[in-house]
Homo-oligomer: A and B are copies of this chain.
Amino acid sequence: MEKNKLKKIIIEIFRKHKLSTNHSEICADAIINAELVGAPTHGLSRLKMYCERIRHKLINPKPKIKIKNISQSVAHINADDSIGFVAADIAIKKAIKNAKKSGIGLVAVKNSGHYGMSGYYAEQAVKKNMIALVFTNAPPAIAPHGAIKSLFGTNPICFGSPTGSNAPFILDTSVSMINRGKIRVASRTNSKIPEGVALDKFGKPTTNAIKALEGVQLPIAGFRGSGLAWMVDILSGVYTGGNHGGKVKDPFDDFSGPQNIGHLFIVMKANLFQSNFKKRIKENIKRIKKLPKLKGLKEILYPGENKLRRYKKNLKSEIKIPENIKEDIRILISSKNF
């Protein structure tokens, strides 16, 4: 579907679900961005879920979002069970504003929900010549090191920086060895999953996808990745006032209450310490790209570079929508006003 047509449709769907036009547009932009960068798991595939949570009164379509200014640099946002996109949009803008004033902006958010991709918000800061660290927690997906039950979310670590070129440096990495989606696909096609990415329900390493689905996914790098996932849970959950310690609800199948996800945004002016930051990072990237490479590899890419290429390529053509999601959209758009 053509991008602008799709945007109008998404806006209409959210408007039907009582979101303001402004909030609907924020959501539509984030969802379409996820499709364009090649992350459909964070795009249209969640549209039905968001609407269902609104209908179940677990996402508040008319949130009274409260911003508490704590200092020139720091603010705390109570998102009032807003859809995550809207809370995160307000938060990153506030963090950028505070960083402009004082060099650094720190904004914590509680009572929020799934906000799509962390990198999308980091990019907004990078466009204003700022460095960003973005943390969010998520429903249980991986087992802490030593445990045989999931508790941490995929808890991404996200870092963005200007590069002096069009493609920002955007690291947006989950601390899980494998996506649950990939295990599901392997279970359907009867293929094995890699070693060391999952345990069966007895805590034994397995390459059998079905057994892995009954068991748990593992964090990257054993205790190191487990520690990083724990750090993200503390920063985005414990610290902000959000849910934490395995209490963030799965948005797709747990309708027992709002998610209360927490986010933390740290934004810093890129030229705060070195006025020639852009020149310095250009030099940094150049040195790394010039290194001798693995056989067959043409180019060393920095995080975010490939994503921009996909975005630019996808921008030229229509957005492909799988049949089941087209059906979701048809139902959502033709349903009565909520």
Q: A103-B106, A239-B273 are in contact. Are A147 and B292 (CB under 8 A)?
A: yes
Which segment, of A18-26, A206-214, A219-227, A324-332, faces chain B? Answer: A219-227
Contact A171 B277 (CB under 8 A): no
Give the Cβ gap from A42 to chain B, nearest Cβ, in Å: 18
Contact code string A69-113 (vs B, CB < 8 Å = 1, else 0): 011111010000000000000000000000001111010101000
Most B CB contacts (10 A, CB to CB) among A101, A131, A147 go to A147
Residue A281 interfacial (CB < 8 Å): yes
Interface residues of A (CB under 8 A from B): 70-74, 76, 101-104, 106, 108, 110, 131, 133, 143-149, 151, 157, 159, 161, 169, 171, 173-175, 177, 203, 220-221, 223-225, 227-228, 230-231, 233-235, 237-241, 244-246, 266, 268, 270, 272-274, 277, 280-281, 283-284, 287-288, 291-295, 297, 300-303
- Count of identical protomers in the assembly: 2
Contact A297 B241 (CB under 8 A): no
Contact A287 B245 (CB under 8 A): yes
Given contacts A131-B235, A143-B291, list 10 more A-B pairs with CB under 8 A: A71-B73, A72-B72, A72-B73, A104-B104, A146-B294, A148-B291, A151-B288, A174-B224, A230-B288, A241-B274
Chain B contacts for A233, CB-based, 8 A: 284
Chain B contacts for A225, CB-based, 8 A: 220-221
The CA-CA distance from A230 to B281 in the complex, in Å, is 11
The CA-CA distance from A272 to B264 in the complex, in Å, is 12
Contact A231 B147 (CB under 8 A): no
Chain B contacts for A175, CB-based, 8 A: 224
CB-based closest 5 A-B pairs: A220-B221, A245-B287, A147-B291, A74-B103, A171-B227
Chain B contacts for A174, CB-based, 8 A: 224
Contact B230 A303 (CB under 8 A): yes
The CA-CA distance from A245 to B287 in the complex, in Å, is 6
The CA-CA distance from A268 to B149 in the complex, in Å, is 31
Q: A233-B284, A274-B239 are in contact. Are A145 and B300 (CB under 8 A)?
A: yes
Nearest-CB residue, chain B, relative to A144 = B288
Contact of A245 among B71, B235, B284 (CB under 8 A): B284
The CA-CA distance from A73 to B240 in the complex, in Å, is 20
Chain B contacts for A293, CB-based, 8 A: 146-148, 203
Chain B contacts for A133, CB-based, 8 A: 133
Give the Cβ gap from A319 to chain B, nearest Cβ, in Å: 26
Chain B contacts for A177, CB-based, 8 A: 221
The CA-CA distance from A302 to B274 in the complex, in Å, is 37
The CA-CA distance from A284 to B242 in the complex, in Å, is 12
Chain B contacts for A70, CB-based, 8 A: 103, 272-273
Give the Cβ gap from A55 to chain B, nearest Cβ, in Å: 31
